[in-house]
Homo-oligomer: A and B are copies of this chain.
Amino acid sequence: TTHSLLLLPGDGIGVETIAEVERLIAFFNAKSNTARFHVERDLVGGAAYDAHGVAVTDEAMDKAQKADAVMFGAVGGPKWASVPYQHRPEAGLLRLRKDLDLFANLRPAICYPALADASSLKRELVEGLDIMIVRELTGGVYFGEPKEIVTLENGEKRAVDTQLYTTHEIERITKVAFDLAKKRRNLVHSAEKHNVMRTGVLWKQVTTDVHKSYAPDVKLEHILADNCAMQLIRNPKQFDVIVTDNLFGDVLSDEAAMMTGSLGMLPSASLGAPDPKTGRRKALYEPVHGSAPDIAGQGLANPIATIASFGMALRYSFDMGKEADLVDQAIARVLDKGLRTGDIMQPGMTKVGTSDMGKAVETE
């Protein structure tokens, strides 16, 4: 089989970390006699805007539609602070998510044992932490209409965003969460604000309904999003899978990621629905961290989150679970050996740059 992969490095350190994935792809292509990767490249974010005046071109979208998977780096930076709103770097990412219908964003928050001390939280609270946040990614306040700023008669402005969810949207994301929990520790927390939001009321109802086909094996707990933000800090290990909407997912997954002490290490997968004929799901993989303009272009970035995202691609898009395990193990071993990029540097460890870290993972 040949797997087609579109690389969209984007801006800032995205360029450097995606280069390390290319290294791994070359390695797999040279080594394996079964699977081969066919790679295409294109621009996204500020880089696309500079070249074409848009945050992602129709051609790039076309390639993304056709590829088996997209590897995304990061977008944005102060350079594009004043481009027109519809062309801001993030617009490229949002269009990819929406047009490919990548409704299921999987964000593992795991604490690498070698890094437990880098967490702000006490070691015993995060050691061994392994949460999967399942964030709805194509609905909610991110895409609901109306979404506009209007000028009122008195000269004031009025801005509106619309938080919107349908039964169908909630059903499909909740199923993803329950299916994942079945392969993990059989517990799903569903986070919303049904005490204040109508979308929260519907979210709770639909989640409860979907749960019926998973009970009693998988347990469902409803939790208010504000309480979830608290409980993550108080006792993160009480969670297995957390399913939540686009906006709460944005905030809660960043909170959880930072807590692990492994922020520069965390991958994510954004998946579409399986094609009814082929079973293939569209997919985009990206690190949880951003484009880090302050250290971009200096070979300092930690490539592990992007490499781990490629590991998720192997697992979820290419059915190469064994190879995905190898990638994860290689990352753990490199850390155990004491190699560290600047963001995770600790006393007594060996400081390396982006490409040395990439090479080290390849070698393992």
Q: Please, which residues of chain B bring their CB within 8 A of the CB of A53? A: none
Judged by a CB distance under 8 angstroms, whether A196 is at the interface is yes
Q: Are A166 and B144 CB-contacts (below 8 A) given A201-B159, A229-B254?
A: no
Q: Please, which residues of chain B bring their CB within 8 A of the CB of A142? A: 196
Q: Please, which residues of chain B bring their CB within 8 A of the CB of A263? A: 230
Q: Determine whether the beta carbon of A198 is less than 8 Å from that of B160.
A: yes
* Binary per-residue interface labels of chain A (194-233) against chain B in the complex, 1 for a CB within 8 Å, 0 otherwise: 0111110111010000000000000000000111011111
A166 nearest in chain B by CB position: B158
The distance from the CB of A121 to the nearest CB of chain B, in whole angstroms, is 5
Q: Determine whether the beta carbon of B165 is less than 8 Å from that of A163.
A: no
Copies in the complex: 2
Residues of chain A at the chain B interface (Cβ within 8 Å): 76, 85, 88, 90, 94, 120-122, 125, 141-142, 144, 147-149, 152, 156-168, 193, 195-199, 201-203, 205, 225-227, 229-235, 247-248, 250-252, 254-255, 257-259, 263
* Given A90-B195, A120-B234, A234-B258, 4 additional A-B pairs, CB 8 A: A85-B201, A141-B163, A159-B197, A233-B255
CA A160 to CA B142, docked complex, whole Å: 13
Q: Please, which residues of chain B bring their CB within 8 A of the CB of A88? A: 195
Q: Determine whether the beta carbon of B254 is less than 8 Å from that of A226.
A: yes
Residue among A88, A147, A152, A195 with the highest chain B CB neighbour number at 10 A: A195
Nearest 9 A-B pairs (CB), nearest first?
A: A159-B202, A230-B258, A156-B167, A226-B254, A229-B255, A161-B163, A159-B199, A159-B198, A90-B195
Q: Determine whether the beta carbon of B196 is less than 8 Å from that of A94.
A: yes
Q: Are A251 and B254 CB-contacts (below 8 A) given A121-B121, A160-B164, A199-B160?
A: no
Q: Which of B168, B197, B229 contacts A161 (CB 8 A)?
A: B197
